[in-house]
A and B are shown apart, each in its own frame.
Chain A
C-alpha cells in the first residue's frame, strides 16, 4: 500500500493519526466535561464560603459578573472578582460586600508575589484589616486610607488595595442602594 500511494502516503499517514487523536480526545472531553464543570462550581462555592460562612446559596449574574449571596432566602451580600497588578503579576481577589459600600471581607485566590514577603497578603493579619471598611477607606494608611501596608511589601499591599477599591467602585453602579 505504501508503494502504491507513493508520495501521498505521508499525507495519508498524518491525517489518519490526527483523526484517531481527535476521536480519542473528543471521547475524553465528553467523559470529563461534567466533572470539570462541577469542580469549577465547587471552587467558586468554597471561595464564597470563605467570606460568607452562613451562605446557603448564590446567584451569578452573567452580565454584571456579580454573585448575590443568600442565607435562608435573605440577601446577605454580594461578591465579585477584582484584579490588582502586583510585583509578580496579576493578583486575583474575591471581594465581598455587605451592601453597596461596606466591605464584608476579601480573599486572595491567585497571585505570584514573592514568597516570604509579598505572599503575606494571603494571611488573615492583612486581609482582616478590610473587614467592615467603607469603600472610600480602602487605601494604604500612607495614602490616607485605613489599611496598613505589609512591611517590605508595599507594592503587593497597594496592588490588593487598588484591586479591591477599583472593583468595588466599578460594580457599585450595578448594586441596589
Chain B
C-alpha cells in the first residue's frame, strides 16, 4: 500500500505531466480557456489514462514486444472513442467546446507515455496508482492554468456545463469590463504555462535541497 501512495504522489508532484515533464502541452494550451473546459478535459483524460493503464498492465504478458505500440494505441483509441461518444450523448455542450481535442486525446503523450513507460512493466495495482497520480497531476495543472486564463482573460468565472445549468460565480470589478484578452489567446497560454513551469522548477529545486 505504501508503494501505491508513493507512486500516486509522484505523479502529482515529482513527475507532474504538465509542469515537470512538459507532456500534453497541446491540449493544455488549446482547451484551457475556461475552468469548465479544463475540468472536462481533465476528466476525459483521467478516464482514458485509468482505463488504458488497467488494460495495458493486465494484458502485458500476452503482448509480443514487436507489436506492443500498435496494441497500446488500439487500447487507448478505444477508450478515447468511448469517452467521446459518452460526452457527445450526455454532455454535448462540453463535447462541443472541447471539439477536436477530445478525440485527439489519443495522441496525448501523457497516456501513451504512462502506458509504455509504466503500465506495460508493472502489476495492475501500481499501474492504477501511476495513472491516478498522472491524472490528478494533469487535472491540478489544467485547473490552475484555466482558472488564471479565465479570470484574467474574461474578468469573470462561470460554469457552463449544460444549457440552463449556468453558474456565474463572480465578475471582477475592473477586469470584468476591460479584460486582458491576451490570456484567452494562445500567446497568453504560452506565457502563463512558461511562468508556471518556472515556478514548479524552482519549487522542485528548493525541495531537493
A binds B: yes
Q: List the interface of chain A (C-beta within 8 A of B).
A: 2, 9-11, 13-14, 17-18, 21, 24-25, 28-29, 32, 35-36, 39, 42-43, 46, 114-117
Given contacts A28-B81, A116-B181, contact A36 B89 (CB under 8 A): yes
What are 11 inter-chain pairs, A to B, with CB distance below 8 A?
A13-B64, A17-B75, A21-B78, A25-B81, A28-B85, A29-B85, A35-B90, A36-B88, A39-B89, A115-B154, A115-B184
Q: Which 4 A-B pairs have the closest CB atoms?
A: A116-B181, A35-B89, A10-B64, A32-B89
Q: Which of A14, A24, A25, A117 contacts B70 (CB 8 A)?
A: A14
Contact present for A10 and B66 (CB under 8 Å): yes
Q: Would you call B63 an interface residue if the criterion is a C-beta within 8 Å of the partner chain's C-beta atoms? A: yes
Chain B contacts with A in 27-59, Cβ cutoff 8 A: 59
Closest chain A residue to B88, Cβ basis: A36
Closest chain B residue to A116, Cβ basis: B181
Closest chain B residue to A27, Cβ basis: B82
Interface size class of B (residues with CB under 8 A): 20 to 34
Contact present for B82 and A17 (CB under 8 Å): no
Q: Would you call B163 an interface residue if the criterion is a C-beta within 8 Å of the partner chain's C-beta atoms? A: yes
Residues on A with C-beta less than 8 A from B22 are none
A117 to B82, CA, bound (A): 37
Contact present for A24 and B88 (CB under 8 Å): no
Contact present for A116 and B85 (CB under 8 Å): no
Closest chain A residue to B91, Cβ basis: A39
Contact present for A116 and B82 (CB under 8 Å): no
Residues on B with C-beta less than 8 A from A11 are 67
The minimal Cβ–Cβ distance linking A156 to chain B, given in whole angstroms, is 14
A42 to B185, CA, bound (A): 31
Q: Would you call B165 an interface residue if the criterion is a C-beta within 8 Å of the partner chain's C-beta atoms? A: no
A39 to B162, CA, bound (A): 11
Q: Which of B66, B89, B92, B184 has the most CB of A within 10 A?
A: B89
A11 to B163, CA, bound (A): 48
Contact present for B163 and A114 (CB under 8 Å): no
The minimal Cβ–Cβ distance linking A113 to chain B, given in whole angstroms, is 11
The minimal Cβ–Cβ distance linking B77 to chain A, given in whole angstroms, is 7
Closest chain B residue to A23, Cβ basis: B78
Residues on B with C-beta less than 8 A from A36 are 85, 88-89, 92
Residues on B with C-beta less than 8 A from A39 are 88-89, 92
Contact present for A14 and B179 (CB under 8 Å): no
Residues on B with C-beta less than 8 A from A28 are 81-82, 85-86
Given contacts A10-B66, A25-B81, A28-B82, contact A114 B71 (CB under 8 A): no
Contact present for A32 and B85 (CB under 8 Å): yes
Closest chain A residue to B62, Cβ basis: A13
Contact present for B88 and A32 (CB under 8 Å): yes
Contact present for B82 and A24 (CB under 8 Å): yes
Apart from A10-B67, A39-B88, A43-B92, what 14 extra A-B contacts exist at CB < 8 Å?
Answer: A10-B66, A18-B74, A24-B78, A24-B82, A25-B78, A28-B82, A29-B85, A32-B89, A35-B89, A35-B90, A36-B85, A36-B92, A114-B185, A115-B154
A84 to B123, CA, bound (A): 54
The minimal Cβ–Cβ distance linking A20 to chain B, given in whole angstroms, is 8
Q: Would you call B119 an interface residue if the criterion is a C-beta within 8 Å of the partner chain's C-beta atoms? A: no
